[in-house]
Structure 1
Amino acid sequence: MNESVRSAADGLVEFVRACPSMFHTAAEICRRLDGAGFTRLHEADAWEMAPGGRYYVVRNNSSVVALKVGDELGTPSRRAPHHFQMAVAHGDSPTYKVKSSPELPGPEGALRLDVEAYGGMIDHTWLDRPLGLAGRVLVRSGARVESRLVNIERDVCLIPSLAIHLDRSSGLAPQLNRAVDLCPLFSAGELGPGSFLEMVAAAAGADAADVLAHDLFLVAHEEPRVWGQADEFVSGGRLDDLQCAYVALSAFLSTDNARDVSVFACFDNEEVGSLTKQGAMSTLLADTLLRTSSALGRTPEEHRRALAASMLVSCDNAHAVHPNHPERYDEANRCRLNGGLVVKEAANQHYCTDAFSRALLVALLDRAGVPHQSFANRSDMAGGSTLGNLSNSQVSVHAVDVGLPQLAMHSVFETAGARDTALGIAALEAFYGADLVIDGADGAELG
């Protein structure tokens, strides 16, 4: 593994460590944007923007949209007033959310936690692992209500399996009831009622009486890592979709394009449908783009022209062919670990890729010498959906769905190729660095 590939893989590992919840993901992205000289804009304030400026906006402390305005957008010489080149990912991952009243009494003095599924995880992978908690806590501070990040890195709970001696059918395929089998053990008798809230309050730097609400999620503490005899693999929690979020953010920060507005967005709530004020189907991206055009002195007509000339790359990981189950994949349209960025397509339009958007991206990648792959589901198997079409319901632009290949998607501990992070960054650098001039769906100049 060469130095740049290893550096990218190690960078991903550090990013995953810093992002135990979607709120921490947004905070880490903001920290990196601040370090790169970006200015935070607040939705409740008037926006002032200028060519050459760098800006970002946050909604709900869990979704971020960042923009770089090209230096040349102050001149009238462009064929279109301006346009947007966008890459979007999501910062949430499947886990279990602690309910508002979190404690469940158990037999013989046991204390359990009441949780419910957030997204579609592989339940049995969460069993028998020491777990922590992360998210946000809302506390009373004088006359204010404040949001505080919490990351309880100590192992404080665990979901125990039922021994095979007590359920002989559980050895191969446990049938788990989420209301019965997936309640984490918090105490065997040493802790009493109210102990959970006291722990959370201490982590938030508040008194238990001042904790008003919380969005807290279980976090597995097994360390992400690069591994393998040839260092071929990277494994960790939340690679779907932190790997794509990291890749898109890295490419966004490392490129400059004087003739467009480059956009990076990381949305919350993709794993539960995106139908929230901060999800991909919200007005966040549309609001941000419209306000950007307005702040740059563009008219509503010029904004609509800009959207017609824009392109979005939706980044969400893809299913690499499983070494033990190749029969589950389309024979001609399947991808492998360490093979590079995957372009995803579906006839039912659950992915936003079409021939035009695929052609543009593939042409850019071929020109840059960056490898790429294709993915489509088997024709007799239903596939999933992702951010692209959801974003397009609010901002209609040419769009393509891509991802990085991985195994065990939605497991508590997922696996990807160690080379693919660097290849993904190179692919999105090629996209962000190009001066795309799109002419409807008839063609485009790559610039």
Structure 2
Amino acid sequence: MDHIEISKELSAFIEESPSMFHTVEAVRKRLDAAGFRYLPETERWDIEEGDRCYTVRNGSSIIAFRAGRSASGENYSFRICASHSDSPSYKVKAVPELEGPGEYLRLNVEGYGGMIDSSWFDRPLSVAGRILVRDCARPHRISTKLVYIDKDILIIPNVAIHFNREINTGYKYNRQIDLCPLFSAGALKKGAFDEMIAERLDIDSEDILGKDLFLVNRQKPSLWGHDGEFISAPKMDDLQCAFASLRAFIDAENDSGINVYCCFDNEEVGSNTKQGAMSTFLRDVLMRINERLGKTGEEYRRAVAGSFLVSCDNAHAVHPNHPGKTDDVNRAFMNKGIVIKESANQKYTTDAFSRAVFEELCREADIPVQTFANRSDSAGGSTLGNISNMQVSLHSVDIGLAQLAMHSSYETAGAMDTVYAIEGLKKFYETDILIEGMEAELGR
């Protein structure tokens, strides 16, 4: 598998995904092309062995599944990969415009997630997300429309160093003051923002009923380095994993059990939403699959007990200028393989059992594996695995791909690691993992 071509595919996926809503659309497009069938949550599901289907919640989370032709046989269980569709950004407030000083028109935004504020200054920006509109063609109906202003329309200007001598010595940004994007210097007047959105959607601005819009870094993905070692782009966390696990899911063939692909929204703000990993979304989908295949509640619980989840969310690479930020030996480097993440305080779900299973899968597929744990004097973040386990409790391992500048508006990762992830996760989806207690057998 050529890492240059895979990086081009990843770049195209990222460019199609300026918001979490667009990410789900990009996933849907690829599932549709692969012959998957959409099942709305509000309708009756008819599922048979051999079916390939997906469902969507809130337009920003998606779960797809592929039932083997002997899915309900001896190894009736679920092989699940989970990633997330959202990235740290700034959300446009309901009343979006700030007037002045003078004839300036600025946008009123608030932080979404834990972004690196300084990385958003002095670069062309736009907005993307969804709009809820009054459907004039169908009275009393409210419709959802995706929007992306594919144009440089905003910038967050730094204060000149002459007015801010502390900028290079530890300045603390105030998001209410420093992070307001400049929209116009006088050519546009109040109301222009909604008019711009309405024009793009070919509707009247009065028909806009609600907005979920986020700032977008307009810088394109870049494959760089003399030998093409690196890929930099917005939203590498977690679109690199979302893309790799999707590609593995679509490519994998396994007639035993059920393969499941999840891409959840709101990981960056805690996942405790109706469409987040803490919601009932995954549990609801798995239970509906179980019911429509004619299985009992007892059989569902047995299947879950024998199932395995790979939580896919990027990992920190050793920083070339600050190697002391990471543990002396439990540390990861770009282009050196899939990172297995561990945490004694259970911020990650990996334990000795799940590590052994996943590492053995990678060894059989000849995929390099690394280990990451935070320094003992440094608090780390959490991710999808331990959160989703609150609703569906099963064996789980947390993995990621090593990257630099996590939560910057432009992040860097190893180009080869995307290939490792696709091949490693494809091996996971194609392997029957027979779990009994704390022992496992990897089938062929």
Name the TM-score, length of structure 2 as normaliser.
0.98
Aligned 1:307-326 pairs, distance under 5 A: 307-326=304-323
Report which stretch shifted further, 195-204 or 297-306: 195-204
User: Residues 124 and 174 of structure 1 are in contact (CA less than 8 Å); yes or no, is this contact kept in structure 2?
Assistant: no
The corresponding residue for 2:69 is 71
Percent of matched pairs sharing the same residue: 52
Q: How many residue pairs align between the two structures?
A: 441
The corresponding residue for 1:43 is 41
Alignment partner of 1:110 is 2:111: no
The corresponding residue for 2:231 is 234
The corresponding residue for 1:410 is 407
1:136 to 130, 135, 148: 130
The corresponding residue for 1:294 is 291
The corresponding residue for 1:176 is 173
Deviations along 1:271-308, one digit per CA (max 9) or x if unpaired, are: 00001000000000000000000010100100000000
SS at structure 2 position matched to 1:190: coil
Deviations along 1:32-74, one digit per CA (max 9) or x if unpaired, are: 1111101111111111101111000000000000000001125
Deviations along 1:335-363, one digit per CA (max 9) or x if unpaired, are: 00001110000000000000000000001
User: Residues 433 and 440 of structure 2 are in contact (CA less than 8 Å); yes or no, is this contact kept in structure 1?
Assistant: no
The corresponding residue for 2:13 is 15
Structure 2 gap ranges (5+): none
Aligned 1:68-217 pairs, distance under 5 A: 68-73=66-71, 76=73, 78=74, 80=75, 82-142=76-136, 143=139, 144-217=141-214
The corresponding residue for 2:441 is 444
Alignment partner of 1:354 is 2:348: no
The corresponding residue for 1:343 is 340
For residues 437 and 346 of structure 1, the distance between their equivalents in structure 2, rounded to whole angstroms, comes to 26
SS at structure 1 position matched to 2:149: strand
SS at structure 2 position matched to 1:423: helix
SS at structure 1 position matched to 2:227: coil
For residues 436 and 443 of structure 1, the distance between their equivalents in structure 2, rounded to whole angstroms, comes to 7
Q: How big is the shift at 1:204?
A: 2.1
Alignment partner of 1:399 is 2:396: yes
Deviations along 1:372-406, one digit per CA (max 9) or x if unpaired, are: 11000001111110000001000000000000000
SS at structure 2 position matched to 1:240: helix
User: Residues 431 and 442 of structure 2 are in contact (CA less than 8 Å); yes or no, is this contact kept in structure 1?
Assistant: no
Alignment partner of 1:56 is 2:50: no
Alignment partner of 1:6 is 2:9: no
Deviations along 1:202-258, one digit per CA (max 9) or x if unpaired, are: 122211010111100000111101011111100000000000000000000000111
For residues 185 and 266 of structure 1, the distance between their equivalents in structure 2, rounded to whole angstroms, comes to 33
SS at structure 2 position matched to 1:202: helix
User: Residues 137 and 204 of structure 1 are in contact (CA less than 8 Å); yes or no, is this contact kept in structure 2?
Assistant: no
1:434 to 431, 434, 439: 431
Aligned amino acid, residue 61 of structure 1: G
SS at structure 1 position matched to 2:151: strand
Structure 1 gap ranges (5+): none
Q: How big is the shift at 1:171?
A: 2.8
Q: How big is the shift at 1:173?
A: 3.0
Aligned amino acid, residue 137 of structure 1: I
For residues 71 and 202 of structure 1, the distance between their equivalents in structure 2, rounded to whole angstroms, comes to 48
Alignment partner of 1:251 is 2:233: no
For residues 274 and 124 of structure 1, the distance between their equivalents in structure 2, rounded to whole angstroms, comes to 25
RMSD: 0.9
For residues 441 and 369 of structure 2, the distance between their equivalents in structure 1, rounded to whole angstroms, comes to 20
Deviations along 1:1-25, one digit per CA (max 9) or x if unpaired, are: xx61211111111110110000000
Q: How big is the shift at 1:172?
A: 4.1
For residues 161 and 446 of structure 1, the distance between their equivalents in structure 2, rounded to whole angstroms, comes to 57
SS at structure 1 position matched to 2:150: strand
Deviations along 1:301-334, one digit per CA (max 9) or x if unpaired, are: 0000000000000000000000000011101100
User: Residues 364 and 446 of structure 1 are in contact (CA less than 8 Å); yes or no, is this contact kept in structure 2?
Assistant: no
User: Residues 351 and 389 of structure 1 are in contact (CA less than 8 Å); yes or no, is this contact kept in structure 2?
Assistant: yes
SS at structure 1 position matched to 2:38: strand
Aligned amino acid, residue 66 of structure 2: K
